[in-house]
Structure formats: structure tokens, C-alpha cells
Amino acid sequence: MTKCGPNDVGGWWVEPILCLVLKRLTMGKPSIRSWLVIAMFLPGCREPAARAEVHRRRVVVDKADDWQRRFDQAHRERIARQTERAHIVAEKERKTREIQERFEALHSAMYEFGLARLSHLADQERPRAIYHRHLRGIARILVDSVDPDHPLLSKEDDPYLLAAIAYHESSWTQAVMDGRRRGARGEVGMFQLMPDGYCALSARDERGRRFDLLDARQNARAAVACLGKIRARYEARSVQGHDIWYWLASYASGKDWPVGREAVEGPNGFRAFYQELRERGGQR
């Protein structure tokens, strides 16, 4: 095929020039010969331009396909991130609802438990309302102190267990909230921990620091950490029947409770308080 000009791609400009030349040669009256010459030259002149146009369109289409693939990939990644965030938010909301439900059930159980032992509040609306608010603060501290990853019994039972221990130690009195409640030997706070005892010295927070026993929240967290360490000691020794009452007896006595010795606490011990609170909470 005949080529027009040194640049094949730029052959499109030859056609108008060739037409002008032929028109001049034929004095404005193209002959059959002129048309034959045009028919011989024009295909060769137009072929590079056609190939260039096809290539240009193919490049445009490839670029469009590449951009579309990138857009689709980015869209899928964005949808995946949104779905993951939605799952995270939904999971947080579910955990928040569960914690709130446990808190409300524990608070109601504590309020009924306390009123049953404070008969003088039965006909006094204002003191009863104050006691109700006071127990809400304690219940919130107890629920927040539960370790969801390493519960003592379970996430549902631990708040009632802690409430029973706290009532056994300090009767949930107002003084325990600011650390003024001290026992005969100098025990401090809601859980009546000894400042120089095993729990105060061994329990640590996430940063490895000792807990401030005068703070009600840290006092409760120190008690939970101490109970976890005591339980781990029994589990490490593979003691058969290392149930809750063995290590609670160790917690109350301040030393390891002998294996095989019955953990008797009396009618007002942890066991009776826990069972009554759990029953009241289970009615919600």
C-alpha cells in the first residue's frame, strides 16, 4: 500500500493537498484518471490515521477500564470499612446494653436486700430515696469493676458476688465511698482491705501501680485483682473442688484456707448474702 509522507500517522493531511493538486491539473474538471489516482493514494494515506485512531480509542478504553476497576476496588474497600465500623458500633452498643441491664438488676436487688435489713426506712420516703441513690453509686462501681475477660464466676454473677462481699465487709455504708470506714485493725474502704495486707501489696493496675484504697473504685478493683490471684493459687495447685468458697474463705481470713477444711462462714457470710442477692436479681 502506498504511504503518504514520511510520517504514517500524520498522513491525514495529504488528502486535501492531493485533491487541490488534481483539481489544478484537471482545470477543475476531474477526469476518470484523476479519480483513479485519488483511489490509489487515499487508502494508503488514510490507513495510518485509522490505525492511530483505533489505538487512541483502545488506550482511552483501557484507561477507562483501569479507572473503573480502581473505583470498584475503592468502593468495595469503603463498603467493607463501613460494615466493619457498623459491626464495631453494634457490638459496643450491645455490650453497653448488657452492662446497663446488669447494673439495673444489681441495683434493684441491692435496694430490696438493703431495705429488708433497714426496717426504719420503710415509712420514710426521703431517707429511702437517698439510700436508693447511694446504692446506685455502689452498684455502678461494682459492675464496672468486673473483669469481662477473666471473671471470677461469670460476667453475670460477679456483680452479685462483689456486692455480697462488700456488704459483708462494710454494709454498703456511706462512709465507704470516701474511705472513712475503717475496721478495728485499720481496714480501709468498701472491701475493708488492709493497707499493708496481701491484697493491697500484690494487686496492681494496668500500669503496674498500686491501687489507692481510699478511692471506692480502686478499692473495688484491688479486691477483684486480689480475689483473682487467690483463685489462681488454688487452680495452680490443681486442688480438686477449689470452688468459690475456698478462696473466699482465704480472702476473709487473710491466709490460705486449708484444703479439706469446710469453708464455714455462718448465717451472715458471703454465701448467704450472695445467694439472696442472686435470687433477687434473677427475678428481673
Question: Rounded to two decimals, what is the model's pTM?
Answer: 0.68
Q: What is the pLDDT of residue 18?
A: 61
CA angle 119, 121, 123 (to 5 degrees): 100
**Partners of 193 in beta bridges:** 188
* pLDDT reported for residue 10: 45
Give pLDDT tens digits for 30-74: 566 656 655 555 555 555 666 777 778 888 888 888 898 999 999
Considering only residues 264 and 105, tell me which one the structure prediction assigns the higher pLDDT: 105
Select from 261, 258, 266, 192 the least CA-distant residue to 226.
Answer: 192
Q: Which of 26-40, 198-212, 216-230 has the lowest mean pLDDT?
A: 26-40
- Yes or no: say if 163 and 272 are a contact pair by the CB < 8 Å rule: no
pLDDT in tens, 103-135: 999 999 999 998 888 877 777 888 888 889 999
Residue 83 has a pLDDT of: 94
* DSSP states along the chain: ----SS-STTGGGHHHHHHHHHHHHTTT---HHHHHHHHHHHHHHHHHHHHHHHHHHHHHHHHHHHHHHHHHHHHHHHHHHHHHHHHHHHHHHHHHHHHHHHHHHHHHHHHHHHHHH-GGGTT-HHHHHHHHHHHHHHHHHHHHHS-SSS-SS-TTTHHHHHHHHHHHHHTT-GGGGGT--B-TT--BTTTTB-TTSHHHHH---TTSPPP-TTSHHHHHHHHHHHHHHHHHHHHHTT-TT--HHHHHHHHHHTSPPPTTS-----TTSHHHHHHHHHHHHHT-
Give the pLDDT confidence of 170-193 residue by residue, as tens digits: 888 877 666 666 666 777 888 888
Query: Taking 90 as the threshold, does the pLDDT of residue 244 lie above it?
Result: no
pLDDT of the residue at 141: 92
Query: Above 90 in pLDDT, residue 89?
Result: yes
pLDDT band at 143 (very low <50, low <70, confident <90, very high): very high
Share of residues in the chain with pLDDT > 90 (%): 20
Which is more confidently placed, 242 or 282?
Answer: 282
Contact yes or no for 160/142 (Cβ under 8 A): no
pLDDT at site 36: 62
